[in-house]
């Protein structure tokens, strides 16, 4: 990211009111990008997160010899330096929640345990306070209770809908079609409401949110068509690419196809495996590789079809796989906007994706958009790029150019415009007053 820009303090005024945002986020999604760009613009009031590697007990994760299990994963939760002074964690509540989850014996019990943890985290956040915040920006499903109280206090509540809210319903329907591939799961539990109307995890978000930040048109359409959200309350705010990806060279192995993300039905990996079987019969040089977690059940079904399932690998090796990829594919049935496709574009790798993947790919320019659940379409799309090297090269050049539209600076611009415009005033020009991060740190009590 670049240094603080002087014009940030004069962007899009909020009726003479300072923009002060509390970001609520569990885990390190998108490298804490929202908190980072708000801190750069001097608009971050605080980052409330469950646990990270730079505050509280999470600091043990980076201590020599203290990296078993959960603590090893926590070591990857590196909050950007500019955000650290405004970061507050809730370690005890989070760790107790993990214990409850481990004790769950059924998918529904696990969902209920996770919701209980989110409610408890929300209560802890309420106790921490709202400082001088004018806005709260929460990730989908985070901040149970905290958002409701923020709304009651008159704060503007925004939600980053990082995955289509219909995703769970889509996956459960797919599990019914392919029961031999994957164990049934309830994910965040929205479908439990069919048997228990009182249980609806999304209710807090739907009743409290003023502004819905949508990373893709797929997410936006889902909110409007399936959840009755007014179009005027939605904002299209694509994600950003870490600048480091632009400097990584791509030296493709012709015919090597890469897909990144946990192998499973939601990611459409079974359809990619079916495409792999077709491609193997036509062209033995095409090698489809999937990088991400995979269950033994899914692996046993997919492997005979000729797809290579790499499982989880170290981060350094992840980039090595991108370096050698000829084509990137994401056949997903439901996403928000898969960051893996942004990373592929930044390296100049043509992307084949479904509309449901929420990709920023332009059909026929820097990649191809194919129908979901269509292995034949995947097969033809892969072949069309791999076999036409001139087309592949043109798409590669266009991909790198396209990726430049999604820098952290662009994210900051989109996010600030979306937050200050208000729920029914999209496009209205306003100006932000800036204050220092140090003053914010003093407003909220430390842990």
pLDDT of residue 155: 98
Across the chain, which has 447 residues, the per-10-residue mean pLDDT values are 39 61 95 96 98 90 60 83 97 95 92 93 97 97 94 97 95 95 85 83 88 98 97 97 92 98 97 97 91 96 96 86 98 97 98 98 98 98 98 98 96 95 54 36 43
Here the tokens at position 98 are: 């993990």
| Cα–Cα distance for residue pair 241/310, rounded to 1 Å | 24
List all residues 6 or more positions away from 198 whose beta carbon is below 8 Å from its beta carbon.
none
| Cα–Cα distance for residue pair 58/71, rounded to 1 Å | 7
Here the tokens at position 145 are: 């209770």
pLDDT of residue 195: 84
Place of tokens 């936006």: 220
Q: What is the side-by-side order of every strand in the sheet holding 211-214? A: 87-89, 44-49, 21-24, 135-139, 156-160, 211-214, 234-236
Here the tokens at position 216 are: 């893709």
Report the SS3 class of residue 229.
coil
Here the tokens at position 53 are: 């590697």
pLDDT of residue 61: 67
* φ, ψ of residue 399 in degrees (nearest 5): -65, -45
Region(s) of the chain under CATH 3.40.50.2000: 6-240+407-440, 244-405
Count Cα atoms within 13 angstroms, Cβ side, for 359.
Answer: 31
pLDDT of residue 317: 84
The CA–CA distances, whole Å, from 378 to 53, 69, 353, 373 equal 40, 37, 9, 9
Here the tokens at position 38 are: 């708000």
pLDDT of residue 68: 54
Per CATH, domain 6-240+407-440 is 3.30.70.580: no
Angle between helices 375-386 and 389-403 (to 10 degrees): 100
Neighbours of 194 (CB within 10 A): 9
Please answer whether residues 381 and 352 qualify as being in contact, where contact means their C-beta atoms are separated by less than 8 angstroms. yes
Per CATH, domain 244-405 is 3.40.50.2000: yes
Please answer whether residues 139 and 26 qualify as being in contact, where contact means their C-beta atoms are separated by less than 8 angstroms. yes
| Cα–Cα distance for residue pair 363/136, rounded to 1 Å | 36
| Enclosing H/E stretch for 151 | helix 146-152
Q: Which letter does DSSP use for residue 418 in this model? A: H
Report the SS3 class of residue 71.
helix
- What sign does the dihedral 7-8-10-12 (CA atoms) show? positive
| Cα–Cα distance for residue pair 339/336, rounded to 1 Å | 9
What are the b/e assignments for 80-102, b being 16+ CB within 10 Å? bebbebbbbbbbebbeebbebbe
| Cα–Cα distance for residue pair 243/342, rounded to 1 Å | 11
Digit-coded pLDDT (tens) for 322-361: 999 999 999 999 999 999 999 999 999 999 999 999 999 9
Cite the DSSP H helix spans in 46-106.
69-74, 91-103
| Cα–Cα distance for residue pair 241/223, rounded to 1 Å | 25
What are the b/e assignments for 137-173, b being 16+ CB within 10 Å? bbbbbbbbbbbbbbbeeebbbbbbbbbbbbbbbbbbe
| Cα–Cα distance for residue pair 171/120, rounded to 1 Å | 28
* φ, ψ of residue 13 in degrees (nearest 5): -40, 145
Neighbours of 10 (CB within 10 A): 12
pLDDT of residue 428: 41
> Which regions of 142-244 does DSSP assign to beta strands (E)?
156-160, 211-214, 234-236
* φ, ψ of residue 162 in degrees (nearest 5): -80, 0
pLDDT of residue 172: 93
């Amino acid at each position: 990211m670049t240094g603080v820009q002087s014009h940030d303090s004069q962007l899009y005024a909020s009726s003479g009111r300072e923009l002060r945002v509390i970001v609520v986020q569990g885990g390190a999604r998108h490298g804490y990008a929202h908190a980072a760009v708000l801190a750069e613009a001097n608009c971050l009031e605080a980052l409330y997160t469950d646990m990270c590697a730079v505050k509280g007990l999470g600091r043990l994760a980076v201590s020599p010899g203290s990296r078993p299990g959960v603590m090893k994963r926590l070591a990857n939760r590196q909050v950007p330096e500019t955000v650290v002074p405004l970061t507050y964690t809730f370690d005890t509540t989070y760790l107790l929640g993990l214990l409850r989850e481990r004790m769950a014996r059924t998918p529904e019990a696990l969902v209920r345990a996770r919701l209980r943890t989110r409610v408890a985290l929300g209560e802890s956040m309420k106790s921490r306070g709202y400082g001088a915040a004018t806005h709260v920006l929460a990730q989908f499903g985070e901040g149970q209770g905290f958002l409701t109280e923020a709304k009651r206090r008159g704060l503007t509540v925004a939600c980053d809908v990082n995955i289509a809210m219909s995703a769970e319903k889509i996956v459960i329907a797919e599990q019914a079609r392919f029961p031999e591939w994957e164990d049934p799961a309830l994910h965040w539990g929205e479908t439990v409401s069919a048997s228990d109307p009182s249980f609806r995890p999304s209710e807090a978000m739907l009743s409290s949110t003023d502004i819905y930040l949508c990373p893709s048109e797929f997410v936006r359409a889902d909110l409007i068509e399936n959840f009755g959200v007014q179009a005027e309350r939605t904002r299209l705010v694509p994600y950003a690419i870490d600048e480091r990806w632009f400097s990584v060279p791509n030296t493709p192995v012709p015919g090597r196809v890469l897909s990144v993300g946990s192998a499973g039905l939601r990611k459409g990996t079974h359809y990619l495996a079916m495409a792999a079987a077709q491609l193997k019969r036509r062209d033995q040089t095409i090698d489809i590789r999937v990088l991400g977690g995979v269950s033994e059940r899914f692996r046993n079904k997919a492997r005979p079809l000729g797809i290579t399932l790499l499982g989880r690998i170290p981060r350094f090796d992840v980039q090595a796989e991108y370096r050698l990829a000829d084509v990137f594919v994401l056949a997903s049935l439901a996403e928000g906007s898969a960051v893996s496709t942004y990373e592929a574009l930044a390296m100049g790798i043509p992307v084949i994706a479904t509309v449901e993947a929420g990709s920023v790919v332009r059909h026929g320019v820097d990649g191809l958009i194919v129908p979901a659940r269509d292995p034949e379409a995947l097969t033809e799309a892969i072949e069309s790029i791999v076999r036409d090297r001139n087309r592949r090269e043109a798409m590669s050049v266009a991909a790198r150019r396209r990726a430049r539209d999604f820098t952290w600076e662009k994210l900051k611009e989109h996010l600030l415009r979306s937050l200050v415009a208000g729920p029914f005033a999209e496009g209205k020009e306003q100006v932000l007053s800036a204050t220092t991060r140090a003053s914010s740190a003093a407003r909220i009590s430390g842990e």
